[in-house]
A and B are shown apart, each in its own frame.
Chain A
């Protein structure tokens, strides 16, 4: 047992075996814990993933059943169901509205034709956080950006919600650093944009779970 491969350092061997996939379940779980907490080990794993990636050519494409995308989207972006499922976010907004809801509709940078852009500033009572939102109906793009206040603490994310008038909140995803641009078919007057603090990656249930931080109601232009 003195062939050269026996001298492969244990961490390197474990990374290679993890990528190869041969480890028993308990050892895989240990390797995954190491990947999460140890950047050096993670780099070894990434090295082996790239090294063996040419073998991926051997995986043949097999179209999944047509309805699979719908199942995935239903799970990630659950549609609002019944009015009573609106949950606590409405109550929180009602309290916030009395003190601190601010909304602007500014016919910014008028395009030659078409509806004007909508600009809203999301603020909250006693909240250092300020989020600027800009919606361009011509391109259906909503741009949001943190303009004041801290980034979300480690392990948390700011999650953006749209609440169409009288309906349940719908997640628009988490707001990262810098400007986030997302597609939104419509931002009608009377709807609310809100930010809650959620676990990293956003609320796993599709309904807001963390505290409401800032919001703005879209007014009439």
Chain B
């Protein structure tokens, strides 16, 4: 954990150290709020989500295992899972309108940032081996919380076709990352 201050703060939070919990909030809340906001696209709901995420972090910090994930990866997983659960629990009609706002564009902006780190470079390279529309769908789903329904509507393919596209894409991605 030497190079992972967030992991150290989670470990201290697990010992019910409130000062560490506050420090963890200051270190991670902007990233987690940005994550929830991008998925939920509603400030009030993203605030509620972040409140719920930090409550879970306080209660579950002892389950964090620094040998399995970096601290920020663990926190973002909690935030994404919670935000996506909220999104999927919404009435079906509410989701239909704003799906296109998070479909990734083809401009290189985000990719340029991603390329800054070697770990990120590997996954970017592997994304390049996928068919562009499938890579785009995977990114859009991960970052914006798009469902199979959203994706099949946007790409105008049947839902099951979209699902097998994405499964194949994910498998190819895994093979590439493990090569």
Binding partners A and B: yes
Q: How many residues in B have their beta carbons less than 8 Å from beta carbons of A?
A: 74
Question: Does A20 make an interface contact (CB < 8 A)?
Answer: yes
Q: With A25-B85, A77-B18, A180-B16 known to touch, is A54 a contact of B33 (CB < 8 Å)?
A: no
Set of chain A residues within 8 Å of B147, measured between Cβ atoms? 21-24
Nearest residue (CB) in A for B84 is A21
One of B54, B59, B89, B122 near A54 (C-beta < 8 A): B122
The listed residue with most A CB atoms (<10 A of its CB), out of B88, B113, B114, is B88
Q: How far is the CA of A24 from the CA of B51 in the complex (A)?
A: 24
Interface size class of A (residues with CB under 8 A): 35 or more
Which applies to chain B's interface (DSSP): helix, strand, loop or mixed?
helix
Q: With A21-B142, A182-B18 known to touch, is A75 a contact of B55 (CB < 8 Å)?
A: yes
Nearest residue (CB) in B for A200 is B59
Q: With A28-B88, A63-B30, A72-B55 known to touch, is A57 a contact of B113 (CB < 8 Å)?
A: yes
Q: How far is the CA of A160 from the CA of B81 in the complex (A)?
A: 31
Cβ distance B58 to chain A, nearest Cβ, rounded Å:
5
Question: Does A60 make an interface contact (CB < 8 A)?
Answer: yes
Q: Is the CB of A56 within 8 A of B123?
A: no
Q: With A3-B168, A183-B18 known to touch, is A52 a contact of B29 (CB < 8 Å)?
A: no
Set of chain A residues within 8 Å of B139, measured between Cβ atoms? 55, 58
Cβ distance A73 to chain B, nearest Cβ, rounded Å:
8
One of A8, A64, A180 near B15 (C-beta < 8 A): A180
Question: Does A99 make an interface contact (CB < 8 A)?
Answer: no
Would you list which residues of chain A between 48 and 92 have a CB under 8 Å from chain B? 49-65, 68-69, 71-73, 75-77
Cβ distance B87 to chain A, nearest Cβ, rounded Å:
8
Nearest residue (CB) in A for B115 is A57
Cβ distance B32 to chain A, nearest Cβ, rounded Å:
8
Cβ distance A200 to chain B, nearest Cβ, rounded Å:
8
Q: A31-61 CB contact bits vs B (8 Å, 1 = yes)?
A: 0100000000000001001111111111111
Would you list which residues of chain B between 97 and 146 have a CB under 8 Å from chain A? 110, 113-114, 116-117, 119-120, 122-124, 138-139, 141-143, 145-146
Set of chain B residues within 8 Å of A51, measured between Cβ atoms? 123, 173-174, 177
Q: How far is the CA of A49 from the CA of B143 in the complex (A)?
A: 13
Q: Is the CB of A55 within 8 A of B143?
A: yes
Q: A1-25 CB contact bits vs B (8 Å, 1 = yes)?
A: 1011111100001001101111111
Binding site for B on A (CB under 8 A): 1, 3-8, 13, 16-17, 19-25, 28, 32, 46, 49-65, 68-69, 71-73, 75-77, 160, 172-176, 180-183, 201-202
12 contacts between A and B (CB under 8 A): A3-B168, A5-B170, A24-B148, A52-B142, A56-B72, A57-B114, A59-B76, A59-B143, A72-B55, A77-B18, A176-B62, A180-B16
What would 11 more interface pairs be, CB under 8 Å, given A5-B164, A56-B72, A56-B73?
Answer: A6-B167, A13-B170, A50-B73, A51-B177, A57-B113, A68-B50, A68-B51, A69-B26, A72-B54, A173-B15, A183-B19
Binding site for A on B (CB under 8 A): 14-19, 22, 25-26, 29-31, 33-35, 37-39, 46-47, 50-51, 54-55, 58-60, 62, 68-70, 72-73, 76-77, 80-81, 84-85, 88-89, 110, 113-114, 116-117, 119-120, 122-124, 138-139, 141-143, 145-149, 151, 163-164, 166-174, 177
